[in-house]
Amino acid sequence: MGDLMRRFWQPALLASELPAPDCPPVRVRLLGEDLVAFRDSDGRVGLLAEHCAHRGASLYFGRVEAGGLRCVYHGWKWDADGACLEMPNEPATSTFKDRVRQPAYATREKAGLIWAYLGPPGTAGDLPGMEWLGLPPDHLHVSKWILEANYLQGMEGEVDSAHISFLHTNYDLDSVGMGEDFGRVSNWRNDLAPALTVNETDYGFVYGSRRNYQDGRRYHWRLTHWLLPTYSLIPGTRWPIGGRCWVPIDDEHTWTFNYWYNADAPIPESDLAWIESGIQVPPVLIPGTFKPVRNKENDYQIDREAQRTRSYTGIYGGGTQDRAIVESMGPIYDRTKEHLVSTDVAVIAARRILLRAARDLQEGRAPGAAAGGSMYRARPVDVISEHAQLGAVLREHADEIQARTERSYLSLVAR
């Protein structure tokens, strides 16, 4: 599965972690590898193996100097591609520096993120063409935090529309800034057992969750995308569109990258305070870290009185509710103990597609979705419709969702 993950461009860190040319380097752990990222004098980002190829000193303590990152142990200087620019402890006549390379990965910078490709040289496709990658900075909010669990557990929460009827229920909706959308959000509690249908696509799938609407006549449909390997695009409540991706740090830790965006307008100043409050995502972080203040060591500051009276969980903030549940499963949940039901159909579909793609890669067939690009130009919607079938809703909103729906996908669980 790690080999499959490496065939996709993925966010590695926030661009703001490397704010300027020649700023201090930062540590980045991805897929079990310890790396160091730096921004050279020209603004280009390098992503190198953490330990210097000479004697293993950490390049995190290195000096970012004209054109490269210099190890402070013996002064070897590496450029963003891993070439050795200087080897000053060797005699001037030595050519050894031309024969040594520091392991390095390709990077790109877009949408406030540094993207990395960790796959074999020559196999990289394009960045995924999700529309938020092309937006002006003021239309977009990106953030990251640590999930102390396997990536899959986090990702599964994104294709599980049913849980919002429970986990994210706040009896006092005003307290979460849901005023204008009250009607639709409250519909989550109107129908607790949504019917899910998965429609496989080139990039993964679009799935629809259908709830009876509170007018007793129509349906409340949420059409959500899952894009390989771990992206989601989810229709907002207060926000037009958001989503997350889940980049493995290692088997038991995950970078959660979150993106909120409005394709049509800048984010109002007043909303930034709402975002930073932790009421939705991102969570409030411990300063100087990407670890949330509410975390498993303090039981996410659960308030049992609030749980009894105002909030389903007693845990403040939707993102923290998700994280609490996902981490509570333990670092890697033993899924042989699960008992899946009909609302888990999208979870099952995502697992099958990932496993199929991993097996295909083992047999020499690279994942088609790794080509990236315009294939990823999908948009989620949250609509009230008279249609009872996903196909009809997809047709009704075809322009808006822009999703390819070439293959039909039968419901996977029927007990």
- What residues make contact with its own copies under the rule CB under 8 A? 24, 51, 53-58, 60-61, 63, 72-75, 87-92, 94, 96, 100, 156, 162-163, 165-167, 192-195, 299, 302, 304, 307, 312-313, 315, 321, 324-325, 328-330, 333-335, 337-344, 347, 415
How, if at all, do strands 113-117 and 241-250 pair? unpaired
198 burial via Cβ count (<10 Å: 0-12, 13-18, 19+): buried
- Residues 154, 254: contact at Cβ < 8 Å? yes
Q: How many CA atoms lie within 13 A of 401 on its CB side?
A: 31
Closest distance to its own copies from the beta carbon of 268 (Å): 32
How far apart are CB 214 and its own copies at their closest, in Å?
A: 17
Q: How far is the CB of 61 from its own copies (least distance, A)?
A: 6
Asked if residue 343 lies in contact with residue 363, where contact means CB atoms within 8 angstroms, the answer is no
CB atoms within 10 A of CB 74: 14
Q: Please, what is the minimum distance in Å from the beta carbon of residue 295 to its own copies? A: 13
Placement of tokens 């607790």 in the chain? 192
Task: Judge contact between 59 and 77, C-beta under 8 A.
Answer: no
Q: Which helix (H) or strand (E) holds 358?
A: helix 345-362
Looking at beta carbons only, is 53 or 366 nearer to its own copies? 53
Q: Pick the closer one to its own copies by CB: 192 or 265.
A: 192
* Residue with smaller CB distance to its own copies, 290 or 312: 312
Cβ proximity to its own copies, 334 vs 363, nearer residue: 334
* The two three-digit tokens of residue 18, written as one number: 């490397």
Closest CA to 68 of 104, 92, 96: 104
CB of 162 to its own copies, least distance (A): 5
**Ramachandran angles phi, psi of 249, nearest 5°:** -80, -50
**Beta bridge partner(s), residue 231:** 227
| Residue closer to its own copies, measured from CB, 58 or 214 | 58
Q: How far is the CB of 382 from its own copies (least distance, A)?
A: 19
Nearer to its own copies (CB atom), residue 343 or residue 405: 343
Spatial separation of the C-alpha atoms in residues 240 and 225, rounded to whole Å:
14
Smallest distance, Å, CB 317 to its own copies? 14
Query: Measured from the CB atom, is 362 or 389 closer to its own copies?
Result: 389
Query: Residue 50 or residue 127: which is nearer to its own copies going by CB?
Result: 50
Residue type present at position 266: P
In whole angstroms, the minimum distance from the beta carbon of 281 to its own copies comes to: 18
Contact 255, 11 (CB under 8 A): yes
Find the radius of gyration of the CA atoms of the chain: 23
Q: Which residue has the tokens 């039901």?
A: 341
Q: What is the C-alpha to C-alpha distance for residues 242 and 347, in angstroms, rounded to an integer?
A: 19
- CB neighbourhood size of 245 (10 A): 26
- Cβ distance to its own copies smaller for residue 124 or 249: 249
